[in-house]
Chains A and B, each alone.
Chain A
Amino acid sequence: MTKCKTKKQNVYCLLFLLPSLLGVMIFIFIPFLDSVRKSFFTAVSEKFIGAKNYEVIMKNDAFALAVKNTALFTAVCIPALIIISFFLSYLITKIKCIRLIKSVLLFPLAIPTAAMVLIWQILFSDNGYINNILVSTGHGSVSFLSSKTAFWVLVGSYIWKNLGYTVILWVTGIMKISGSVIEAAKVDGAGEADILFRIIIPNLKPTLYTITIISFLNSFKVFREAFLVAGAYPHDSIYLLQHLFNNWFINMDLDKMAAAAVLVFSVIFAAIVLLQRMWNKEE
């Protein structure tokens, strides 16, 4: 009887999952399999060429540049975001008016990308406010958006936009930690540093995992700002994978796109699996 009930429940579960599963299959999984297939054929004439597309993209300078920039951006932004947002959240938990601060922190997320880009251009363009200040104080102007500095402008933009959301996640995680544990630690003579490093941080590992994944995915969305500011061919320092994919699509280099997408997916998938395994090990 119990077995029957479980089987029946499983059927119901499957039925409820089916629409969502179908959507994922049709819009994500099957197109991805098609991309894998396309990576072994030419773009328009669909001739089988084996692994030649992979060979081509491995030797492609633009791909190498884009991968390097994207990896560098991710390697710089995510740790910076995590560290800054954590310490900010820790400070926030110490003060009152947390609800008001939470609302304020979400403002950057609510601002449309196009509006934000306009602000960056007003601030950072060659005739922008910052350069005007620099010139009027006797310094030379800096080409923020057309030189290597563009990379740091993009990093700043990413951190500014995602800081609030990440802080809220941290604050939520910190608030979840039982107050009695911290009280007990205090009674046992633990100082603030001990509480932070031995109680709070260890208990925030699930939050850290979530934030890392979300920040990693959001790091790819910064392409929108980079594209709106600098167009399809920006300065080398902010030439990201999405720029390359965007231009390849326009030029109908779909074979290269498919091969690059499969490669990038493999790397990201491996990274996530590794992270998951490390996480499971620790647990």
Chain B
Amino acid sequence: MKRTLKAAALFSALMTFSSLSGCSDEEQQQAVKLSKGGYVESVMEVGSDVFSLSELELIDNKLTTFDSMFCNEYVIPNDGSDVETSVNQTMKKIEPSDGYMTLLASSENGYFISRTSGASFETEYLLLSSEGEEKKLDIDDFIAHAEYSESGRLFMVGGENLCEVAENGSVKPLMTVGENVINMDVIGDNVIVIDEKGVHFYDIKNDKEAEAPKALSDFLAEYVNKAGSEEVRIDMCKAPNDSICIACSDGIYKYILNGNNVEQIVDGVSCSLGNPSLKLSSIYCCDDESMVVAFDEGTISRFSYDPEMENDKAVVLKVYALEKDEVLSQLINGYASQNRDVKIDFQIGMKDGTTYEDAMKDFTTQVLSGNAPDLIMLDGMDIDNYIDKNMLCDLSSFESEWNKDGKLLDNIVKWNKKGDKVYNVACKFTIPAIGADSDDLKKLNSLENIAGFIKDNRKQYDDRFPLMYFEKPEQLVKTALIYESGDIFGSGKIDSDKLEKFFGSCYDINKYNEKEGEYVSYGYDGNEMSFVDRLFNVIREDHTVAVGTVNTFNYDLNILESLNGLTPENNADYKFGTGRNGKVFVPKCNLGIIEAGKNHEEAEKFIAYALGAEPQKLAEESGFSVNTDALSWFYKKNENDINNFYGYDLTSLDESKTFVFDIKWITNKQAKEFDEFIRTLDTPFAVDKATEQIIVNNGIECMNDSVSISVAASKTVSQLELKMKE
């Protein structure tokens, strides 16, 4: 008995340590083992002049979608031939001569349309039969989502209700849903509504609310939460064998009704779904189990199953970025699409609320444990620290691969050159600018000037709206840092007097920007406002100022260069630079290769791809290209009138004046001047996140009056000096 007890005691003691299992040491370049068979994507374009595409529906046994705003009808053939385009005459007949019409839902039997009058801006909703009979509906709420069921019943989400519209036009509320409905789909006998609270199921056969399957509900909730404040695009459709296909930016998933898991069948990273420049419209699952996905930009992708497709990925490329970046996402998507044998493992450090410190600790742990990424986006990181530690590879050793024929802006791409060596390359760049009335602009040569300008004008014109738009104090400090960092850190040391002036300026701008006691909603949902959006307020109101970065041609530079055409005339003007220095630029998407990474070859190929002409034409809203061929392509867009926008109007803030102008693509002369200018940029702005956080946190404290300006400055100096001592 004693022996038995002893043995039992020993056994249980050993079992407490049974979780000590050896850590497997995976090779970086292992083949990702999956069975054969997968989905192959083929892409079609319906046209470039598409506003947005409606839900894919089977009409007269043909898979059809419509341009929601213009009455164009697109039939997607099964045989892979070109999309058939025609004008839907039934809808065309009821198109208003002024105003606009939006197709909300379509079916074999008719259409559900909203029509807005250009004169009164009132919107009416109507049912239009395929024979052209109109029936106006008595609906006051804004309808964002609507869809017909297979049996022809029409469901819609209006206000906070899921409703059914009967054939006689009556509207019957069925179920309460949340304020912000993300998606609504009718799949078989169920209506599925996704809102900010979760997933709702409505059983249309039994006319009652049903319980949403847990696995599906959890999957959708997780996806929506992951997106955070970004726009969520998701669509679902019925698939064979009682299943549902779900399309989103992560790929295509399949869920078998009443099952326990949602399975990914197409990875978004390597197909159009993961392309951040395409907005998902809808998905349709055909009888042959191929899936058709429509995007608002007029792209149609068909995913067909190929049982012989090899899924073994010969190569794995690990990519790391501290924060999500549209340029990098775009590049990864493009590279993966062109290199199907490469599996890209893309990691974002600061996701799901992870702080900077925790993200860096995770990264450090990865590097030390032998799982270092191959390619890294260095924005926000202490690049010089990594160079000192020999963590980054010298990219100049293969410059002939990524700088073929010298088609790159060397002053931008190699902004961080150390002697002959290049450890990181910038893939995009933006340019800071200041905007104001031309007379005021001459005097605005520093942040201090701008702060003084705002303070004086607030006292003089107390009834004005905000004099300089920024979203939050944090955004103000970050933007202001671009303008003053050269002054604060210029001598290599922190200048505490200049830092105090910097905080003083931020304090004054924050205090005097808005009229005391008034709150102005900017209506931008917290997303970063572009320089041009801020400059619009300079146009609409005298004695205001705009600061920010110019990022792109389409919505930034073209507008700036079209300002001269404003009617009536306006004094709004702008200048590049920070006031002190006209040659500042902000390098973006800085890529480097980690020495400890296992796949240098693929990382080098990625960099060469990223700096190539075609990829450089993508993600244009996130920065100017660094490839001169891509820039030339942008400059030449002035040859196509479709790139011009006529009759853009801005109403003044007091609504007494309306300014109208044509936004034309920059002329050849303007392009030449711009091109010459960007080749002279020589002052990069790059601050690591830790330093930025110290300055921003102390800046916010002083703007909130938690501490005085001098205390905020001395705290910042002390913290930064401590950081440098380490």
* 26 A-B pairs (CB sep. < 8 Å): A16-B13, A19-B17, A20-B13, A22-B17, A23-B20, A26-B20, A42-B389, A45-B389, A45-B391, A60-B726, A62-B722, A62-B725, A65-B722, A65-B725, A126-B706, A143-B711, A231-B697, A233-B723, A247-B723, A249-B361, A250-B357, A250-B361, A251-B385, A251-B726, A252-B364, A252-B389
Residue of A nearest to B20 (CB): A26
A170 at the interface (CB under 8 A from B): no
Provide the bound-state CA to CA distance between A143 and B715, in Å: 11
Q: Which of B9, B382, B719 contacts A233 (CB 8 A)?
A: B719
Question: What residues of B have a CB within 8 angstroms of the CB of A54 in the complex?
Answer: none
B722 touches A236 (CB 8 A): yes
- What is the distance, in angstroms, from A2's C-beta to the closest C-beta of chain B? 18
Report B6-18 CB contacts with A as 1/0, cut-off 8 Å: 1001100110110
A52 at the interface (CB under 8 A from B): no
B390 at the interface (CB under 8 A from A): yes
Q: Which of B364, B368, B711 contacts A146 (CB 8 A)?
A: B711
Report A231-272 CB contacts with B as 1/0, cut-off 8 Å: 111011001000010111111111000000000000000000
Provide the bound-state CA to CA distance between A42 and B389, in Å: 8
Provide the bound-state CA to CA distance between A240 and B368, in Å: 25
Question: What residues of B have a CB within 8 angstroms of the CB of A236 in the complex?
Answer: 718, 722
Q: Which of A15, A22, A231, A251 contacts B382 (CB 8 A)?
A: A251
A87 at the interface (CB under 8 A from B): no
B204 at the interface (CB under 8 A from A): no
B722 touches A233 (CB 8 A): yes
A61 at the interface (CB under 8 A from B): yes
B707 at the interface (CB under 8 A from A): yes
Residue of A nearest to B15 (CB): A19
Name which of B17, B361, B385, B722 has the most chain A CB atoms within 10 A of its CB. B722
B694 at the interface (CB under 8 A from A): yes
Question: What residues of B have a CB within 8 angstroms of the CB of A244 in the complex?
Answer: 726
Report B221-236 CB contacts with A as 1/0, cut-off 8 Å: 0000000000000000
- What is the distance, in angstroms, from B293's C-beta to the closest C-beta of chain A? 42
Q: A19-B16, A22-B20 are in contact. Are A44 and B390 (CB under 8 A)?
A: yes
Provide the bound-state CA to CA distance between A228 and B362, in Å: 19
Name which of B9, B368, B711, B725 has the most chain A CB atoms within 10 A of its CB. B725
A181-198 residues at the B interface, CB under 8 angstroms: none
B595 at the interface (CB under 8 A from A): yes
- What is the distance, in angstroms, from B371's C-beta to the closest C-beta of chain A? 13
Question: What residues of A have a CB within 8 angstroms of the CB of B722 in the complex?
Answer: 62, 65, 233, 236, 239
- What is the distance, in angstroms, from A134's C-beta to the closest C-beta of chain B? 16
Provide the bound-state CA to CA distance between A62 and B718, in Å: 12
- What is the distance, in angstroms, from B697's C-beta to the closest C-beta of chain A? 8
B368 touches A61 (CB 8 A): no
Question: What residues of A have a CB within 8 angstroms of the CB of B368 in the complex?
Answer: 254
B350 at the interface (CB under 8 A from A): no
Name which of A23, A44, A143 has the most chain B CB atoms within 10 A of its CB. A44
Dominant secondary structure at the B interface: helix
- What is the distance, in angstroms, from A11's C-beta to the closest C-beta of chain B? 11
Give residues in A with beta carbon < 8 Å to B.
12, 15-16, 19-20, 22-23, 26, 42-45, 60-62, 65, 125-127, 143, 146, 231-233, 235-236, 239, 244, 246-254
Provide the bound-state CA to CA distance between A20 and B10, in Å: 12
Question: What residues of A have a CB within 8 angstroms of the CB of B361 in the complex?
Answer: 249-250
Q: A19-B14, A254-B368 are in contact. Are A248 and B9 (CB under 8 A)?
A: no
Q: Which of A22, A44, A62, A127 contacts B726 (CB 8 A)?
A: A62
B391 touches A252 (CB 8 A): yes
Provide the bound-state CA to CA distance between A244 and B711, in Å: 23
Residue of A nearest to B14 (CB): A19
Lowest 7 A-B CB distances belong to which pairs? A233-B719, A62-B725, A250-B360, A61-B725, A19-B17, A62-B726, A45-B390
Q: Which of A19, A127, A235 contacts B13 (CB 8 A)?
A: A19
Provide the bound-state CA to CA distance between A252 and B311, in Å: 37
Question: What residues of A have a CB within 8 angstroms of the CB of B10 in the complex?
Answer: 15-16
A44 touches B596 (CB 8 A): yes
Question: What residues of B have a CB within 8 angstroms of the CB of A252 in the complex?
Answer: 364, 367, 385-386, 389, 391
- What is the distance, in angstroms, from B627's C-beta to the closest C-beta of chain A? 32
Q: A233-B722, A235-B718 are in contact. Are A44 and B711 (CB under 8 A)?
A: no
Provide the bound-state CA to CA distance between A247 and B382, in Å: 13
Question: What residues of A have a CB within 8 angstroms of the CB of B707 in the complex?
Answer: 126, 143, 146
Q: Which of A15, A43, A250 contacts B389 (CB 8 A)?
A: A43
Question: What residues of A have a CB within 8 angstroms of the CB of B711 in the complex?
Answer: 143, 146
Provide the bound-state CA to CA distance between A250 and B385, in Å: 11
Q: Which of B386, B389, B726 contacts A247 (CB 8 A)?
A: B726
Question: What residues of B have a CB within 8 angstroms of the CB of A45 in the complex?
Answer: 389-391, 595
Question: What residues of B have a CB within 8 angstroms of the CB of A60 in the complex?
Answer: 725-726
Tally of chain B residues near chain A (CB < 8 A): 36
Residue of A nearest to B714 (CB): A146
Given A16-B10, A233-B694, A249-B361, 5 other A-B residues pairs in contact with their CB atoms under 8 A: A16-B13, A19-B16, A65-B725, A232-B357, A233-B723
Name which of A127, A146, A247, A249 has the most chain B CB atoms within 10 A of its CB. A146
Question: What residues of B have a CB within 8 angstroms of the CB of A26 in the complex?
Answer: 20
Provide the bound-state CA to CA distance between A141 and B13, in Å: 58
Residue of B nearest to A64 (CB): B725
Question: What residues of B have a CB within 8 angstroms of the CB of A44 in the complex?
Answer: 367, 389-391, 595-596
Question: What residues of A have a CB within 8 angstroms of the CB of B360 in the complex?
Answer: 250-251
Question: What residues of A have a CB within 8 angstroms of the CB of B690 in the complex?
Answer: 232, 250
- What is the distance, in angstroms, from B200's C-beta to the closest C-beta of chain A? 36
Provide the bound-state CA to CA distance between A19 and B11, in Å: 10
Name which of A12, A16, A125, A252 has the most chain B CB atoms within 10 A of its CB. A252
Residue of A nearest to B10 (CB): A15
Question: What residues of A have a CB within 8 angstroms of the CB of B391 in the complex?
Answer: 44-45, 252
Provide the bound-state CA to CA distance between A212 and B596, in Å: 45
Residue of A nearest to B16 (CB): A19
Provide the bound-state CA to CA distance between A251 and B725, in Å: 13
Provide the bound-state CA to CA distance between A17 and B219, in Å: 46
Question: What residues of A have a CB within 8 angstroms of the CB of B706 in the complex?
Answer: 125-127
Residue of A nearest to B594 (CB): A44
- What is the distance, in angstroms, from A12's C-beta to the closest C-beta of chain B? 7
Question: What residues of A have a CB within 8 angstroms of the CB of B718 in the complex?
Answer: 233, 235-236
Provide the bound-state CA to CA distance between A146 and B702, in Å: 13
Residue of A nearest to B716 (CB): A233
- What is the distance, in angstroms, from A250's C-beta to the closest C-beta of chain B? 4
Residue of B nearest to A15 (CB): B10
B667-711 residues at the A interface, CB under 8 angstroms: 690, 694, 697, 706-707, 711
Provide the bound-state CA to CA distance between A64 and B364, in Å: 25
Provide the bound-state CA to CA distance between A146 and B710, in Å: 13
Q: Which of A127, A232, A249 contacts B364 (CB 8 A)?
A: A249
A248 touches B726 (CB 8 A): yes
Question: What residues of B have a CB within 8 angstroms of the CB of A61 in the complex?
Answer: 725
Question: What residues of A have a CB within 8 angstroms of the CB of B723 in the complex?
Answer: 233, 247
Residue of B nearest to A256 (CB): B726
Provide the bound-state CA to CA distance between A12 and B3, in Å: 11
Residue of A nearest to B368 (CB): A254
Question: What residues of A have a CB within 8 angstroms of the CB of B16 in the complex?
Answer: 19
Provide the bound-state CA to CA distance between A236 and B390, in Å: 31
Question: What residues of A have a CB within 8 angstroms of the CB of B386 in the complex?
Answer: 252
Question: What residues of B have a CB within 8 angstroms of the CB of A233 in the complex?
Answer: 694, 718-720, 722-723
Question: What residues of A have a CB within 8 angstroms of the CB of B13 in the complex?
Answer: 16, 19-20
Provide the bound-state CA to CA distance between A42 and B6, in Å: 49
Question: What residues of B have a CB within 8 angstroms of the CB of A249 in the complex?
Answer: 361, 364
Provide the bound-state CA to CA distance between A233 and B17, in Å: 38
- What is the distance, in angstroms, from B319's C-beta to the closest C-beta of chain A? 19
Provide the bound-state CA to CA distance between A44 and B690, in Å: 21
Residue of B nearest to A125 (CB): B706
Question: What residues of B have a CB within 8 angstroms of the CB of A146 in the complex?
Answer: 707, 711, 715
Question: What residues of B have a CB within 8 angstroms of the CB of A23 in the complex?
Answer: 17, 20
Question: What residues of A have a CB within 8 angstroms of the CB of B385 in the complex?
Answer: 251-252
Provide the bound-state CA to CA distance between A43 and B595, in Å: 13
Provide the bound-state CA to CA distance between A146 and B382, in Å: 26
